[in-house]
Amino acid sequence: MNISFPQKSAYDLRATSITFPVIVDGHARRCFVTEEALMDHFNALSPESERLQTAFEANRSEIEAVAEYRYRTGAAGDVLLRTQDF
C-alpha cells in the first residue's frame, strides 16, 4: 500500500476540523482531525482556526502516522480523527 501526504491543510468550518489530503494507492482522499483532538492532545489553546492550524502543523507527523495506521488497517474513503484516536 502506497500512502503519501501532500503538504497542504486547511480549516474546515463545516466540520470544525483541520482537513488534509492523503493519496492512497493513487486515489485522493481527505483526512480530518477535530478541533477537540487538537485541543486535547496537541496544545491548541482555543478553537480559533489559526491556533488549530498551528497545532496541526506542529504535530503533523504524529497526526499523519495515526491517519496512515487507519488506512493500513482497513479504512476506506475519508478518515475522521477524533480525540480518542490519539
Tell me, what's the pLDDT at 48?
87
Number of domains in the chain: 1
Torsion of CA 71, 19, 40, 46, to 10 degrees: 180
| Residue 17 backbone dihedrals phi, psi, to 5 degrees | -155, 170
Show the domain range for 14: 3-85
**Strand 27-34, strand 79-81: pairing:** parallel
Q: What does the pLDDT look like over 47-85, one tens digit per residue?
A: 888 999 999 999 999 999 999 999 999 999 999 999 999
Residue 27, all three cell numbers: 486515489
Is 66:7 a contact under the CB 8 Å cutoff? Answer: no
Residue 32, all three cell numbers: 480530518
Q: What does the pLDDT look like over 1-43, one tens digit per residue?
A: 999 999 999 999 888 999 999 999 999 999 999 999 999 999 9
